[in-house]
């Protein structure tokens, strides 16, 4: 049990590492699509800090049934409940950002609406679970499964889809098909609710996770079938997303983003072209306020280019990432030959990377001028 404690002492901060980037995404996306500055910026930052600190002292709620003393369980239960406060602050700040803003219903914003619903439902059931007496009843049941899938899919994954749609034109230079995005969104949203809401019911009825069979007399069958239909709708959403990506790449010439700022965003990444030049900014911009691109007086573009000093390109990070995925997969499923092969691959990539000589390149001022003139012409 001590090792399980160690795993979750790491593992619970880790689930916040999953969700915090999604929070960051919404703090960028919501102001952009409401044409209004983020509500309560400072309280957002403090909420983030409080969540970070609390995330380190809640791990025991993964196993209230371990048999620790009531005092220990009570401490972790209270810390877990406390996390709802800063998270609620963030949710309300996003909602207040919409208040009297000019809300646009583009697909990134749809993911946000779905996120608010799913994350609130998931958060509420999380509060239920954080109470040890309740947890003793529903420990390892499908109620728990529905809770954390709500947080990870309805919260984190929807946030990442939102980010993908929002920044796609920035890093590729062309838009995803908005129509297909909407179809995919509605499949995901409805499929998610149909797949996971029944699991809350099943959990209350006593179904646990990883069952290999159940008796017909439990009368769970129709609810399980409903959940399966939901999963199929999600699968259809995934298919549309993959097709949408393929179609958008094929028709990329029609969907170019020539402005560099297709959503009228306020932050610096939208001040350069899409996709950005290799050095991002020819002259490092000076910023004296939040939302610099919405400033009443935009600074004049400067032309006094200098040489730019950059680290050279290397694909090794990508290769190591792919090989690590294979290593993790093969270790999980005891595929020893693949594990050994991918591990050796990682070592070889590392050695190649650490044996390189030219780690920098200089882009001369003349070249910068040429690139800048070609892109602003």
Partner 1 sequence: MDTLTIHHTPDPNADTSVPDVHQDIFSTRVLGFWMYLMTDCIIFATLFTTYAVLHNNTFGGPSSKDLFSLKTSFAETMILLLSSVTCGLGMLSALKSRRKHVLGWFGIAFLLGASFIALELHEFTHLVLEGNSWTRSAFLSSFFTLVGTHGLHVSIGLFWMLVVLTQVYLIGINIDTFRRLVIFSLFWHFLDLVWIFIFTFVYLMGVL
N- to C-terminal Cα distance for the chain?
65
Which one, 75 or 281, has the nearer CB to partner 1?
281
Single out the segment in contact with partner 1 by CB under 8 A; choices: 49-57, 172-180, 287-295, 355-363. Answer: 355-363
Q: Which of 306, 318, 340, 370 binds partner 1 (CB under 8 A)?
A: 306
313 binds partner 1, rule: CB under 8 A = no
Binding mask 226-265 for partner 1 (x = CB under 8 A): ----------------------------------------
Which one, 69 or 286, has the nearer CB to partner 1?
286
37: which DSSP letter? P
The conformational region for residue 140 under phi > 0 = left, psi -120 to 50 = alpha, else beta, is: left
* Rounded Cα distance, 241 and 124, in Å: 30
297 binds partner 1, rule: CB under 8 A = no
Number of residues that bind partner 1 (CB under 8 A): 19
309 binds partner 1, rule: CB under 8 A = yes
Dig out the tokens for 254 from the structure. 């029609």
Q: Which of 34, 51, 308, 349 binds partner 1 (CB under 8 A)?
A: 308
Supply the minimum distance, in Å, between the C-beta of residue 184 and partner 1.
38
Dig out the tokens for 324 from the structure. 């690590």
Supply the minimum distance, in Å, between the C-beta of residue 279 and partner 1.
10
Residues 112/94, Cβ–Cβ less than 8 Å: yes
Residues paired with 376 in a beta bridge: none
Task: List C-alpha distances in Å: 333 to 263, 322, 338, 339, 343.
Answer: 44, 17, 10, 10, 15
Supply the minimum distance, in Å, between the C-beta of residue 302 and partner 1.
13
150: which DSSP letter? I
Single out the segment in contact with partner 1 by CB under 8 A; choices: 190-198, 256-264, 290-298, 302-310. Answer: 302-310
Binding mask 261-290 for partner 1 (x = CB under 8 A): -----------------------x-x----
Supply the minimum distance, in Å, between the C-beta of residue 309 and partner 1.
5
* Rounded Cα distance, 329 and 323, in Å: 10
Residues 140/209, Cβ–Cβ less than 8 Å: yes
Dig out the tokens for 300 from the structure. 């004049």
Single out the segment in contact with partner 1 by CB under 8 A; choices: 3-11, 115-123, 158-166, 197-205. Answer: 3-11
Residues 203/142, Cβ–Cβ less than 8 Å: yes
Q: Which of 70, 304, 332, 354 binds partner 1 (CB under 8 A)?
A: 354
Task: List C-alpha distances in Å: 219 to 144, 201, 202, 203, 222.
Answer: 20, 12, 10, 13, 7
Q: Which of 69, 217, 289, 355 binds partner 1 (CB under 8 A)?
A: 355
3-state secondary structure of 237: helix
What residues make contact with partner 1 under the rule CB under 8 A?
2-3, 6, 9, 284, 286, 306-309, 311, 347, 351, 354-357, 359-360
């Amino acid at each position: 049990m001590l090792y399980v404690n160690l795993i979750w002492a790491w593992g619970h901060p880790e689930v916040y590492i999953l969700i915090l980037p999604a929070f960051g995404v919404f703090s960028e996306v919501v102001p952009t699509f409401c044409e209004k500055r983020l509500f309560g910026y400072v309280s957002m930052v403090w909420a983030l800090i409080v969540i970070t600190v609390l995330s380190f002292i809640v791990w025991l709620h993964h196993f209230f049934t371990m048999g620790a003393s009531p005092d220990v369980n009570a401490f972790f239960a209270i810390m877990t409940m406390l996390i709802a406060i800063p998270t609620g602050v963030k949710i309300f700040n996003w909602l207040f950002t919409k208040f009297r803003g000019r809300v646009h219903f583009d697909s990134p914003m749809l993911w946000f609406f779905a996120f608010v619903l799913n994350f609130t439902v998931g958060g509420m059931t999380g509060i239920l679970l954080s109470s040890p007496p309740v947890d003793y009843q529903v420990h390892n049941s499908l109620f728990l499964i529905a809770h954390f899938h709500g947080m990870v899919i309805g919260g984190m994954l929807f946030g990442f889809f939102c980010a993908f749609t929002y920044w796609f034109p920035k890093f590729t230079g062309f838009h995803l098909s908005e129509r297909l995005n909407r179809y995919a969104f509605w499949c995901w949203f409805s499929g998610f609710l149909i797949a996971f809401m029944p699991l809350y019911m099943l959990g209350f009825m006593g179904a646990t996770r990883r069952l290999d069979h159940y008796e017909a007399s439990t009368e769970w069958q129709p609810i399980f079938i409903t959940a399966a239909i939901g999963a199929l709708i999600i699968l259809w959403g995934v298919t549309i997303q993959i097709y949408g990506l393929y179609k958008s790449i094929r028709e990329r010439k029609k969907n170019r983003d020539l402005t560099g700022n297709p959503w009228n965003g306020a932050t610096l990444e939208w001040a350069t072209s899409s996709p950005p030049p290799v050095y991002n900014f020819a002259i490092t911009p000076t910023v004296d306020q939040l939302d610099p691109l919405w400033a009443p007086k935009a600074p004049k573009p400067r032309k006094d280019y200098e040489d730019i000093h950059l680290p050279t390109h290397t694909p090794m990070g990508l290769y190591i990432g792919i090989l690590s995925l294979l290593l993790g997969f093969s270790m999980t499923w005891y595929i020893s030959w693949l594990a050994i092969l991918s591990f050796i691959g990682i070592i070889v990539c590392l050695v190649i990377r650490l044996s390189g000589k030219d780690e920098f390149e200089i882009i001369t001022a003349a070249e910068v001028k040429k690139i800048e003139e070609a892109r602003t012409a």
